[in-house]
Amino acid sequence: MWFLAMLWASCLLMGTHAQGSASFRRANAGSGRCQYTFMVDSPTEASCPSAGSSPEMEALKSRLGLLEALVARLVGGEAMSEASQGSGSQSGLQDAYNQVMGENAQLQREKQRLDRQVQDLQQRLEELRQEAERLRSRTCMQQPPPRVPQNDNSFRPGSGPALSHLVSRPGNTQGDKSSLRDPAWHHENPGYQELTAVVTEVSAPNLEGPADISGCGDLVWVQEPEVHRKADSIAGKYGVWMQDPEAKEPYGPEMVWRIDAVGSEVRQLFGYENMDQLSRGFPTKVLLLPESMESTGATMYRGSLYYQRRLSRTLLRYDLLSESIAARRDLLHAGFHGQFPYSWGGYTDIDLALDENGLWAIYSTNKAKGAIVISQLDPHNLEVKGTWETKIRKTSVANAFMICGKLYTVASYTSPNTTINYMYDTATSQGKIISVPFKNRYRYNSMVDYNPAQRKLYAWDSFYMVSYNVRLGKQE
């Protein structure tokens, strides 16, 4: 018993010393027995979790603290990085935004400027449209002042080259070239023929040529030009060439006549036996006219050359058989020497023309205020048989010709694609706007005339002698 008490006391002391935390309680267990309860901390329970200072807990706390610090650092770093990057991006975005806004403002200004230009162009277009309408509908307007030189000393009647009236020179082209050149003509001479004009173009519809019909009709189609000859000197830049639709002896119907119209003394008339000879370039006849010529409006009819005497309104009939002037007559009130020329100039005031009805003069007068006037002439004595006054200004068109008693005008002498733009019928005294396509292949058409026997237009387009087949349609 003693031993047990000592063991208990020792254990109690050791336990108390070892643990410093123990309790002892005594209680009545009933049935005459006492119950002693001794409680001491178990060594194994020292590792149990508790709210106190457990090493594991401390280690966890430490690790957690480390993790928290790491997380905080990471989160803080990312936040800082994001903040830093966000700041840079924001700055870049701001710059880009400012640039876009600047460009936008510039584009707005550009748009406003373009809008103004569009408005200006629309206004200009409307003005042009109104001008075109006005030109289509207007009648003739006041003519510009005459362009007659005050001191033209180049005209000296009878002072031409001392050649015989008839020179037969087969095969001598070199001689022809030299004789064609006129020493009085110079490129720089502003007073002679090289004149320009503004021409209103009319769009050319694409017309198919209808089938030919016999007899007269309206001009409905003009073929592409056919080239017959190119002049080989500057004297042939413009001129007139023709065939007599009713030829008389000694010349046959195949005879081709040519006059180079550049120069102040145009008097030479070259004859070729036929078209082939014209193409080869050998004239068989060279006739020297007794009086010099003006304009490119000459024509050949029934064995006579009809032309305007230079610096006058006098019409001459030169008889090929007698080689002399057979008739002369002033075309009363007709403008001349640049008063009422065609748009290309060339002193083309009086244009003589042929058609199925005979000989015509196309010209203008002060009374007509520059409008084209048509007179039918007696081919024998040049007497005026009838006169018509049109509503189209002569200086506004490039040339004119007659077919079946109707006048036709060419809109432009330079445009490669122009039109026959007006027709006047002497049978009804009515004119109207038309649009028949017409080609100026060489862009300087100085003469257009109709040959009723060949049913062709003959033209002289910048050195080139060309012809056009035509078709006539049913009369309206």
List residues binding Ca ion (CB under 5 A).
351, 399, 401, 449
Looking at the DSSP bridge assignments, the partners of residue 430 are 425
If the CB atoms of residues 272 and 450 are measured against Ca ion, the closer one turns out to be 450
If the CB atoms of residues 270 and 460 are measured against Ca ion, the closer one turns out to be 460
Minimum distance between the CB of residue 399 and Ca ion, rounded to whole angstroms?
5
If the CB atoms of residues 316 and 374 are measured against Ca ion, the closer one turns out to be 374
Q: Are 231 and 296 in contact (CB under 8 A)?
A: no
Order of all β-strands in the sheet with 430-439: 399-403, 406-410, 417-425, 430-439
If the CB atoms of residues 176 and 244 are measured against Ca ion, the closer one turns out to be 244
Task: Give the end-to-end CA distance of the chain in Å, rounded to a whole number.
Answer: 164
Minimum distance between the CB of residue 444 and Ca ion, rounded to whole angstroms?
15
Two tokens at 289? 């006219």
Two tokens at 226? 């056919």
Q: What are phi and psi of 214, to 5 degrees?
A: -80, 155
If the CB atoms of residues 299 and 365 are measured against Ca ion, the closer one turns out to be 299
Alpha-carbon distances of 332 from 22, 75, 269, 436, rounded to whole Å:
160, 113, 27, 32
Minimum distance between the CB of residue 434 and Ca ion, rounded to whole angstroms?
17
3-state secondary structure of 204: coil
Minimum distance between the CB of residue 160 and Ca ion, rounded to whole angstroms?
25
If the CB atoms of residues 219 and 286 are measured against Ca ion, the closer one turns out to be 219
Minimum distance between the CB of residue 180 and Ca ion, rounded to whole angstroms?
22
Minimum distance between the CB of residue 356 and Ca ion, rounded to whole angstroms?
16
Minimum distance between the CB of residue 234 and Ca ion, rounded to whole angstroms?
22
Minimum distance between the CB of residue 411 and Ca ion, rounded to whole angstroms?
14
If the CB atoms of residues 286 and 374 are measured against Ca ion, the closer one turns out to be 374
CA 410 remoteness from chain centre: 20
Strand spans (E) along 341-463:
351-355, 358-363, 371-377, 384-393, 399-403, 406-410, 417-425, 430-439, 445-451, 456-461
Closest to 397 in 3D by CA, of 371, 379, 426 = 371
Sign of CA dihedral 112, 114, 120, 126: negative
Closest to 245 in 3D by CA, of 235, 255, 230 = 255
If the CB atoms of residues 277 and 422 are measured against Ca ion, the closer one turns out to be 422
What is the C-alpha to C-alpha distance for residues 361 and 374, in angstroms, rounded to an integer? 6
CA 367 remoteness from chain centre: 38
What is the C-alpha to C-alpha distance for residues 35 and 29, in angstroms, rounded to an integer? 5
Percent of residues in the chain assigned helix, strand, coil, to nearest 5: 25, 35, 40
Looking at the DSSP bridge assignments, the partners of residue 459 are 448, 466
How many residues appear in the chain? 476
Looking at the DSSP bridge assignments, the partners of residue 227 are 466
If the CB atoms of residues 265 and 351 are measured against Ca ion, the closer one turns out to be 351
Minimum distance between the CB of residue 353 and Ca ion, rounded to whole angstroms?
6
If the CB atoms of residues 349 and 351 are measured against Ca ion, the closer one turns out to be 351
Question: Could you tell me which residues come within 8 angstroms of residue 131 by beta carbon, excluding any fewer than 6 positions away?
Answer: none
Minimum distance between the CB of residue 448 and Ca ion, rounded to whole angstroms?
5
CA angle 319, 325, 326 (to 5 degrees): 65
If the CB atoms of residues 269 and 407 are measured against Ca ion, the closer one turns out to be 407
Minimum distance between the CB of residue 297 and Ca ion, rounded to whole angstroms?
6
